[in-house]
Amino acid sequence: MSILYDEGQQAIATESRRVLDARVSKDRLLKLLEQVGEHDQPFWDTAVEQGWTALAIPEEHGGLGLGLIELGLVAVATGAATAGAPFLSFSYGAAQALLGSGHADLAATWLPKLASGEAIGTVAFAEGSAALPPRPATTYAGGKLSGTKPAVVGALKADFAVVWASHEGRPALVLADLASAARTPVSGFDNSRLYADLAFDGTPATLLADGDAAVALARDVLGRMAVVTAHEQVGGADALLHIARDYAVTRRAFGQLIGAFQSIKHRIAEMYGVVEIARANCIHAASREGQADFLLAAADARISATEAYDTASRDCVQIHGGIGVTWEQGLHLHMRRARSLAIELGNLYFWEDLLVEQLTGEAA
């Protein structure tokens, strides 16, 4: 591993998990699955109260001036709790886009609000190909943004979005105030993610970067968000590993604990292996923030964490048998979240292409 957590970082991990264990309700999360446009407000209130919204924002903008390592530790706790709002990771992405753009006025306007939880940001890179310049369906000209972005995470509640667009035939990143954008809710299997289709029709916007600078900034933002999301996936996978283990050492069948059966204990051992590999990749990626190999490390973390969460969510249900698929058991909260997180920032094919590009200099 690239780092060992110091006492302060260990305290962040312990306290964030303790707080969420006490304040997140499975029953509340189950109700949210059937409501479009609602999120877990008690969770978000807790995030603001605990200062998690300010963790990775510079002190001069009202933040705590910490980094990916500390935010990742909080994300592990939110993943274990299947937290009912996507704002921590997506507001973080929007904040990093503002910081990377060098647009001081916009940073001064929005970053203190993001740090305090007064505002919520999101990113709309719907083409999923900011690593390899796309043909965006959204265009920016004369301070106005036109076009559409499908299924943007958190868009139902976000105050602004950093949008991947086209500007004079070049790729661009622009900041759009969502007050005048049309939002169409998207009902899905994980509704607390607040997905919405965004439609821009002359929406006021500000250019953050275009051309090669936009591509580089978009890659960096995606990489940072991928590392946070990978930590969240590891948190969920680790929680499922412990749920499966606890069930296997208490449930009896054919006169013995089911944990004694090879098919069960081997599956749990395999879950442990993929979770720890993903955890190590997350720690390494967070420690490489700002380094030349950061995107490579981010892709490693993203791919391994996605596979770990998918594996753990599937196998934990299998170990539980019939009770694992009941509504009340709640394992499907993790199953749904595993699938949501797997596609929100680009699917595995996208990250595998990026990994190949980083290793060889060209995408496969």
Is residue 192 predicted with pLDDT exceeding 60?
yes
Q: HSE of 84 in the Cβ direction (CA atoms, 13 Å)?
A: 27
pLDDT in tens, 223-234: 999 999 999 999
230 close to 278: Cβ distance less than 8 angstroms: yes
Q: HSE of 358 in the Cβ direction (CA atoms, 13 Å)?
A: 18
* Whether the predicted model's global pTM rises above the 0.85 cut: yes
Is residue 172 predicted with pLDDT exceeding 60?
yes
For residue 255, the model assigns a pLDDT of 86
For residue 55, the model assigns a pLDDT of 95
Integer Cα distance of 20 and 239 in angstroms: 13
Name all domains of the chain by residue range, CATH numbers in brackets.
7-89 (1.10.540.10), 121-211 (2.40.110.10), 216-360 (1.20.140.10)
Is residue 362 predicted with pLDDT exceeding 70?
no
Pairing of strands 144-152, 170-177: unpaired
Pairing of strands 121-124, 160-167: parallel
195 close to 155: Cβ distance less than 8 angstroms: yes
pLDDT in tens, 110-168: 999 999 999 999 999 865 444 545 556 789 999 999 999 999 999 999 999 999 999 99
Average pLDDT estimate for 318-332: 94
Integer Cα distance of 176 and 205 in angstroms: 4
For residue 126, the model assigns a pLDDT of 65
Question: Read out DSSP for 186-218?
Answer: ---S-GGG--EEEEEEEEEEEEEEETHHHHHHH
